[in-house]
Structure 1
């Protein structure tokens, strides 16, 4: 699991730490971090409960629900390499839908193929 914190979040963490020690007021921290005092209070609670890990976004390192499954991507690449190697993007996309019942968007197909450095011959 990713545990590193980017610069902005580390900066927020350091300010919250200073607020906790009494070196900086909540008002000043809110102005510097460009947020409200209420947000500062929530960050203080999160800091007390989780430490620096409380500043890492909860969706970090989670796969998107809309991501194309690896099995489907592998099948698309296999078809492209073995059967449809000389088809244009559009024609290949149409064949996937008609003959192989693989329903993905045209943009997703282009993304998959270009990620593998496969370009359209036309």
Structure 2
């Protein structure tokens, strides 16, 4: 079993638990963005966007580079890989279960249906 740092995973999943932060990560997956560019789709202040970015930074998901007065943010995928490794344990669990279900359903489909029952003699046309 993979060793896990609980605090690190807690921080990552907390950061991913918010819709706005997930959307910001989606933007950063396409490339570097300023804090203003990350705030824009949500009609939020730069201060509010900065709070979300700080949560993402604490989880290690985002790096912020200050260039003069401009704060540039970029995605760091390593923490996402840690979260994916943890989720992978459960992915294998469900994949195994679904493979068993598929075998059962395929076996059921391969079994021919029983022949239709014939009506007892003398009961036709009554």
> Greater share of strand residues, 1 or 2?
2
Query: Whose Rg is larger?
Result: 2
- Is TM (by shorter chain) over 0.5? no
Which structure has more RCO (C-alpha within 8 Å, separation ≥ 6)? 2
